[in-house]
Amino acid sequence: MKSSFAKTVLAVICGIIILKLVGFLFLLGLVGSLSAGGSKVVLPRSGVLDISLADYALTEQTQETPMPDLMSMSFEMGSTVGLWDAVQAIEAAAADPAIKYIFLRPDGGTAGMAALEELRTALLNFRRSGKAVVAYLESPGNGGYYLATAADKIYLSSYHGATYQLFGLSSQQIFLKDILDKLGVNVQLIRHGKYKSAGEMFVRSSSSADNREQYQAMIDASWKAFSSVIAESREMTEEAFNDLIDNLKLVLPEDFLKYGLVDELMDRESLVEKLCTLAQVEGRDNLHLVSLPDYIEAKISPLPARTNVAVLVAEGEIVDGKGQNLAADSFVQVIDQIRKDNSIKAVVLRVNSPGGSVTASEKIRSALDLLGREKPLVASYGDYAASGGYWISCGCSRLFSDATSLTGSIGVFSMIPEFSQVSKKLGVSIESVSSNKHGDILSLMRPFDAAETAYMQASVEDIYDRFVNLVASSRGMEPSAVDAIAQGRVWAGTDALEIGLVDEIGTLRDAINYAASLAGLISAEDYKVITYPAVPTTLEQVVTMLGQQREEPTVLADTPFEPMARSLKGLLKDNQPTAVYARLPYYLDIK
pLDDT tens, residue by residue, 4-50: 655 555 655 655 556 555 555 555 455 444 444 444 778 899 999 99
Q: What's the pLDDT band for 431 if we cut at 50, 70, 90?
A: confident
pLDDT tens, residue by residue, 370-391: 999 999 999 999 999 999 999 9
**C-alpha triplet 405, 410, 412: angle, nearest 5°:** 130
Span 302-426+443-547+577-583 CATH architecture: Alpha-Beta Complex (3.90)
Does the domain at 47-166+250-298 match CATH 3.30.750.24? Answer given as no
* CA neighbor of 343 nearest in space, from 375, 388, 369, 378: 375
231-245, 335-349, 564-578: the lowest-pLDDT one? 564-578
State the average pLDDT over residues 418-426.
83
Q: Is the peptide bond before 533 cis (omega within 30 degrees of 0)?
A: yes
Q: Which long-range contacts (CB under 8 A, 24 or more apart) does 235-242 make?
A: 235/260, 236/260, 242/168
Task: Give residue 136's pLDDT.
Answer: 97
The number of C-alpha atoms within 13 Å of 579 and in the hemisphere containing its C-beta is 20
pLDDT tens, residue by residue, 522-571: 888 899 999 999 876 555 555 444 444 444 445 445 555 555 555 555 54
Q: What's the pLDDT band for 585 if we cut at 50, 70, 90?
A: low
Percent of the chain surpassing pLDDT 70? 81
Task: Give residue 392's pLDDT.
Answer: 97
Is pLDDT larger for residue 435 or for residue 25? 435
102-111, 274-283, 440-449: the lowest-pLDDT one? 440-449
Q: Residues of CATH 3.90.226.10 domain(s) within the chain?
A: 47-166+250-298, 302-426+443-547+577-583
State the average pLDDT over residues 132-136.
98
Q: Is the pLDDT of residue 584 over 80?
A: no
Task: Give residue 76's pLDDT.
Answer: 38
Is pLDDT larger for residue 172 or for residue 334? 334
The CA distance from 111 to 125, in Å, is: 20
Task: Give residue 191's pLDDT.
Answer: 81
* CA neighbor of 294 nearest in space, from 527, 65, 534, 54: 65
pLDDT tens, residue by residue, 172-221: 888 888 888 888 888 888 887 777 776 788 888 888 888 888 889 989 99
Q: Is the pLDDT of residue 493 over 50?
A: yes
Q: Name the phi and psi angles at 32, rounded to 5.
A: -60, -40
Cα 402 to its chain centre, rounded Å, is 14
Q: Is the pLDDT of residue 272 over 80?
A: yes
59-68, 91-100, 318-327, 402-411: the lowest-pLDDT one? 59-68
Task: Give residue 182's pLDDT.
Answer: 86
The CA distance from 79 to 469, in Å, is: 42
3-state secondary structure of 179: helix
Task: Give residue 38's pLDDT.
Answer: 47
Given phi > 0 = left and psi -120 to 50 = alpha, else beta, which region is 130? left
Could you write out the three-class secondary structure of 50-104? EEEHHHCEEECCCCCCCCCECCCCECCCCCEEEHHHHHHHHHHHHHCCCEEEEEE
For 533-565, give the DSSP string: SPPPPHHHHHHHHHHSPPPPPPTTTTSTTHHHH
Residues 542 and 26: beta-carbon distance below 8 Å:
no
What type of residue sits at position 334?
V
